[in-house]
Amino acid sequence: MQISDKNCEKIHYIAPNIYCCGAGTAADTESITALISSQLALLRLSIGTPSRVVTAMTALKRRLFQYQGHISAALVLGGVDVTGAHLYSVYPHGSTDKLPFVSMGSGSLAAMAVLESGYHDDMTEAAAVALIRDAIRADDANVHIAA
């Protein structure tokens, strides 16, 4: 992930068990994630149970679809709930994918190459952290070479 704007949040709180990373216009990613976070907080207060990741994903995709891509926010949404761990990519037009790994944003092709070559289902936590670190470094190196 290329970090061009150092003065904005790249990791957004959605719920205690759900976070997302954003690519696109900083104001759009911060606004849409704050809105969905507030909606989920109200829902948690109303029903008294922790948020589900699919609920956050559905709220994000509906809001983005409503604006037909005019909200420039591409998001990687992840979390753990009663049904397990979940990772989604949410695109500015509202389409979504549920994937075992994902890379988004400018320069993400190098990161995706590392993830595709190193990922396997039975990874240990240490191996997964090392793979993510390598993917971020590959992405960062690729961005600086291209620039």
pTM metric for this prediction: 0.86
Q: 56 CB contacts (<8 Å, ≥6 apart)?
A: 14, 15, 18, 20, 36, 40, 77, 79
pLDDT at residue 72 is higher than 80: yes
Burial class (CB in 10 A: 0-12, 13-18, 19+), 85: exposed
pLDDT at residue 146 is higher than 50: no
Task: Give the pLDDT confidence score for residue 141 in this predicted structure.
Answer: 64
Task: Classify residue 70 by its DSSP letter.
Answer: -
Tens digits of per-residue pLDDT, 35-68?
999 999 999 999 999 999 999 999 999 999 999 9
**Residue-range domains of the chain with CATH:** 1-100 (3.60.20.10), 107-147 (no CATH)
Task: Give the pLDDT confidence score for residue 70 in this predicted structure.
Answer: 96
Query: Which parts of 11-145 are beta strand (E)?
Result: 11-15, 18-24, 73-81, 84-90, 96-98
The tokens for 74 are: 């591409």
pLDDT tier for residue 142 given thresholds of 50, 70 and 90: low
Task: Give the pLDDT confidence score for residue 105 in this predicted structure.
Answer: 79
